[in-house]
């Protein structure tokens, strides 16, 4: 294991896979010399050249669409968009084309592509550069959706995403890019899609989260352990396909569930998790209603204080937990 | 076409105001005292300001992520722009928008935009209103060279041309979209060539020459107002600073930057004003001093303004 940032782990995953398989290339805006909006592909052009680190015109509809076209004809493209928000322009290609080709054509095609999207707020870039739209993607059968929260998960999951024969939306949290962690160096190390990870075991409450909220959840869990409240922190890692088993088993054990995500609450992925629990036999084990702690239902504001208030804080998570325990 | 002294001096005023404003913002970002990000127009003041000055009252503008020159060019209050960048409640967007979201609907400025290419269709729709209501007003739609590779550019130009809508599509071609030179993002040298496929007229002009920018925009506006449809103006210009904060500019050489600095739009215009006896050194100095003072006051105002109250968080999501 080696210590590296989330950003470096993503770069390493792509680099290792590209060394092995020359059908893999990256397509995006300013990913060459510039290294991408968040510097993730910095230096990769030196090893792989312009053909495989492909700077595209500012044409998201064609970037995502061309990736789909390349994918069905033998290539394995990785798309990088500057901000998740701009996938709206590539949405036809992703939703109506890439996600449906296999099923529509009777299972005769494979669409091996990854779309990497830096999401989330916290940089002050305001409403059009800060969204968390993962729930949209999860609502489209045919897409897989991954949202890693640690450098090691990012590496292992990105490698699996690249090797997967389906379109994978890989959501990177931009506030995590500079966070560090220990990462497996073995080029054959991968983490399977569709498997949640219990980041902390506990007996009292199941806290289900993903992406940047994991850090806050772990801090809260450690603090509450001092008050003899033991929280089990589940990091979903992949949202589609969803690891329902891990969630259900945990809730059966604890009898209480709280879901934490950065995205706005209404129509958010948390609702899907609540439904998953409610529809399962874990329902009978519930000692309290399920709680969601999520983003406020607003576009992200520029002002720093408001921006902070728009997403769950450690205090919000703690308050939710006390509510769950009737404290 | 004669341009009155008042207008010429106002153009100069707004150009230097834009320059001083941008330099001050750049300082704040270097010092790390400003939240968010910004895209500065240093070097592009003539194209952004003189074009806006060529509009009539009641005309509209749509702007881009690099929109400070347009906001100042449209006569928005500098204190409100500054306060917006500081995220203060006194800002033009109540602190919720920041550098990329400046608007003043009363002045016809429909706003800058965080989405590249986001303005094309908005401008087209605003021009449709002018046509349907027969207002005689026009829309000036700013965009960058890079933005002309978005599908929305082509869809909007086609629509505006077939419906003969009164909109000037004004390209500030600064040779790059972030790090990508025009030569690597399109198979033509001039964005204006694209006008041909929509059967509309186009101009290619020196975007660093305020007088040429003003005159061309006036002429194009007249054409639009006469009901003949849209026009493209392509103004060749250059940005001196990085694309946004923290850009090392590794994709271009210092020699290129210096070559453009020799064609500085403010110096060119200042010389024009003096050589043509429109203004003397003292008048010029007075305008510059006034602009600097305005920026100082704006900074004071912004710093002393309150943050938006926490209950503003959920306000204004719906009308
Ligand atoms: C739809 C969309 N794609 C990508 C971006 C990221 N981005 C911001 S500015 C920019 C370059 C725009 O280039 P150009 O239109 O030439 O304007 P300039 O910045 O040179 O003024 C890019 C790619 C964005 N904001 N929106
Ligand atoms: Mg440009």
Task: Check pLDDT > 90 for residue B22.
Answer: yes
Give the pLDDT mean for B277-293: 98
pLDDT in tens, B76-99: 999 999 999 999 999 999 999 999
- Residues of chain A short of pLDDT 50, as ranges, are none
CB B140 within 8 A of CB B56: no
Task: Give the structural domain span for A110.
Answer: 2-183
User: Over the Cα atoms of chain B, what is R_g?
Assistant: 19
Q: Does B178 touch chain A (CB under 8 A)?
A: yes
Q: Does A325 touch chain B (CB under 8 A)?
A: no
User: CATH number, domain at A254?
Assistant: 3.40.50.920
- How much is the pLDDT for A115? 99
Q: Does A269 touch chain B (CB under 8 A)?
A: no
- How much is the pLDDT for B246? 83
Question: Which listed ligand is nearest to B236 at the C-alpha?
Answer: 2
pLDDT band per the 50, 70, 90 thresholds, residue B70: very high
- How much is the pLDDT for B206? 98
Same domain assignment for residues A134 and A204: no
Predicted-complex ipTM score:
0.97
A123 part of a folded domain: yes
Q: Do B100 and A128 touch (CB under 8 A)?
A: yes
Q: In whole angstroms, what is the distance from residue A311 CA to residue A213 CA?
A: 9
Q: How many distinct helices (H) and strands (E) make up chain B? A: 11, 7
Buried residues in B130-167 as b, exposed as e (16+ CB within 10 A): bbeeeeebbbbbbbbbbbbbbebbbebbebbbeeebbb
Task: Check pLDDT > 90 for residue B9.
Answer: yes
CA A293 to ligand 1 center in whole angstroms: 34
Same domain assignment for residues A9 and A104: yes
pLDDT in tens, B32-57: 999 999 999 999 999 999 999 999 99
Least CB–CB distance from B87: residue in A32, A296, A302: A302
CA B124 to ligand 2 center in whole angstroms: 21
- How much is the pLDDT for A168? 99
Same domain assignment for residues A96 and A19: yes
- How much is the pLDDT for B172? 99
Same domain assignment for residues A34 and A161: yes
Least CB–CB distance from B178: residue in A34, A129, A303: A34
Average pLDDT, chain B: 98
Q: Which residue of B has its CA nearest to A128?
A: B114
For residue A241, is the peptide bond before it cis, meaning its omega torsion is within 30 degrees of 0? yes
Chain A partners within 8 Å of B177 (Cβ):
29-30, 57-58
Least CB–CB distance from B36: residue in A33, A34, A123: A123
Total number of domains in chain A: 2
- How much is the pLDDT for B75? 98
Q: Does B151 touch chain A (CB under 8 A)?
A: yes
Same domain assignment for residues A206 and A171: no
- How much is the pLDDT for A169? 99
Give the pLDDT mean for B268-276: 98
pLDDT in tens, A219-260: 999 999 999 999 999 999 999 999 999 999 999 999 999 999
Same domain assignment for residues A15 and A65: yes
Best of A34, A51, A58, A82 to disrupt the B interface by mutation (most B CBs within 10 Å)? A58
Q: Which residue of B has its CA nearest to A42?
A: B250
Which domains are present in chain B? Answer: 5-299 (3.40.50.970)
End-to-end distance of chain A based on CA atoms, in angstroms? 41
Other CB atoms closer than 10 Å to residue B309's CB: what's the count? Answer: 11
User: CATH number, domain at A16?
Assistant: 3.40.50.970
- Mutation probe of ligand 1 site: the residue of B145, B150, B178, B242 with most atoms within 8 A of C-beta: B178
- How much is the pLDDT for B1? 82
Give the pLDDT mean for B165-194: 98
From atom 19 of ligand 1, which residue's Cα is the shortest distance away? Answer: B177
Q: Do B100 and A304 touch (CB under 8 A)?
A: no
A217 part of a folded domain: yes
> What does the DSSP assignment read for B167-188?
EEEEEEE-SEETTEEHHHH-SS
pLDDT in tens, B228-265: 999 999 999 999 999 998 899 999 999 999 999 999 99
CB A89 within 8 A of CB A37: no
Q: Of the residues A150, A183, A216, which one is the last residue of a structural domain?
A: A183
CA B101 to ligand 1 center in whole angstroms: 14
Task: Check pLDDT > 90 for residue B31.
Answer: yes
């Amino acid at each position: 294991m080696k210590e590296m940032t989330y950003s470096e782990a993503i770069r390493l995953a792509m680099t290792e896979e590209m060394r092995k398989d020359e059908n893999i290339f990256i397509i995006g805006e300013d990913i060459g010399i510039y290294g991408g909006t968040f510097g993730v592909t910095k230096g990769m052009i030196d090893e792989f050249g312009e053909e495989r680190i492909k700077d595209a015109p500012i044409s998201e509809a064609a970037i995502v669409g061309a990736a789909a076209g390349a994918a069905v004809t033998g290539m394995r493209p990785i798309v990088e968009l500057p901000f998740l928000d701009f996938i709206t322009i590539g949405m036809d290609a992703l939703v109506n084309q890439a996600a449906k080709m296999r099923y529509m054509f009777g299972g005769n095609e494979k669409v091996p592509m990854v779309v990497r999207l830096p999401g989330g707020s916290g940089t002050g870039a305001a409403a059009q550069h800060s969204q968390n739209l993962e729930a949209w993607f999860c609502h489209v059968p045919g897409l897989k959706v991954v949202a890693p929260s640690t450098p090691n998960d990012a590496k292992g999951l990105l490698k699996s995403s690249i090797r997967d024969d389906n379109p994978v939306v890989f959501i990177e949290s931009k506030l995590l890019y500079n966070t560090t962690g220990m990462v497996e160096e073995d080029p054959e190390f991968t983490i399977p899609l569709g498997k949640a990870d219990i980041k902390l075991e506990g007996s009292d409450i199941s806290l289900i989260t993903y992406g940047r909220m994991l850090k806050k959840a772990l801090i809260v869990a450690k603090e509450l352990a001092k008050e003899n409240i033991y929280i089990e922190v589940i990091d979903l890692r992949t949202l589609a396909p969803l690891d329902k088993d891990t969630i259900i088993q945990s809730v059966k054990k604890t009898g209480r569930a709280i879901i934490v995500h950065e995205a706005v609450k209404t129509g958010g992925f948390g609702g899907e998790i609540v439904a998953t629990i409610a529809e399962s036999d874990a329902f009978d084990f519930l000692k309290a209603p399920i709680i969601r702690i999520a983003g406020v239902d607003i576009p992200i504001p520029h002002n720093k204080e408001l921006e902070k208030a728009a997403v769950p804080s450690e205090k919000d998570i703690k308050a939710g937990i006390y509510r769950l325990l009737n404290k | 076409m004669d341009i009155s002294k008042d207008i010429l001096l106002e153009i100069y005023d707004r150009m230097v105001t834009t320059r001083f404003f941008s330099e001050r913002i750049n300082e704040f970002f270097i010092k790390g005292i400003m939240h968010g990000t910004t895209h500065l127009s240093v070097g592009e003041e003539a194209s952004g300001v003189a074009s806006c000055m060529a509009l009539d009252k009641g005309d509209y503008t749509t702007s881009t992520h690099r929109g400070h020159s347009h906001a100042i060019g449209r006569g928005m209050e500098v204190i409100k722009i500054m306060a917006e960048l500081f995220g203060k409640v006194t800002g033009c967007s109540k602190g919720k928008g920041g550098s990329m979201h400046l608007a003043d609907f009363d002045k016809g400025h429909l706003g800058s935009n965080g989405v590249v290419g986001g303005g094309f269709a908005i401008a087209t729709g605003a021009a449709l209103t002018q046509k349907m209501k027969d207002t005689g007003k026009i829309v000036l739609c700013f965009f960058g060279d890079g933005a002309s590779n978005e599908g929305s550019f082509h869809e909007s130009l086609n629509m505006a041309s077939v419906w003969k809508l009164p909109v000037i599509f004004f390209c500030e071609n600064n040779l790059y979209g972030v790090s990508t030179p025009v030569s690597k993002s399109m198979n033509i040298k001039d964005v204006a060539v694209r006008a041909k496929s929509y059967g509309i007229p186009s101009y290619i002009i020196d975007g660093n020459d305020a007088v040429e920018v003003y005159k061309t925009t006036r002429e194009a506006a007249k054409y639009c107002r006469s009901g003949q449809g849209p026009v493209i103006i392509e103004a060749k210009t250059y940005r001196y600073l990085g694309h946004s904060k923290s850009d090392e500019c590794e994709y271009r050489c210092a020699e290129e930057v210096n070559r453009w600095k020799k064609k500085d739009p403010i110096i060119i215009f200042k010389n024009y004003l003096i050589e043509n006896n429109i203004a003397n050194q003292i008048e010029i100095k007075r305008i510059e001093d006034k602009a600097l003072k305005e920026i100082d006051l704006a900074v004071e105002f912004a710093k002393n303004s309150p943050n938006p109250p926490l209950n503003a968080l959920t306000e204004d999501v719906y009308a």
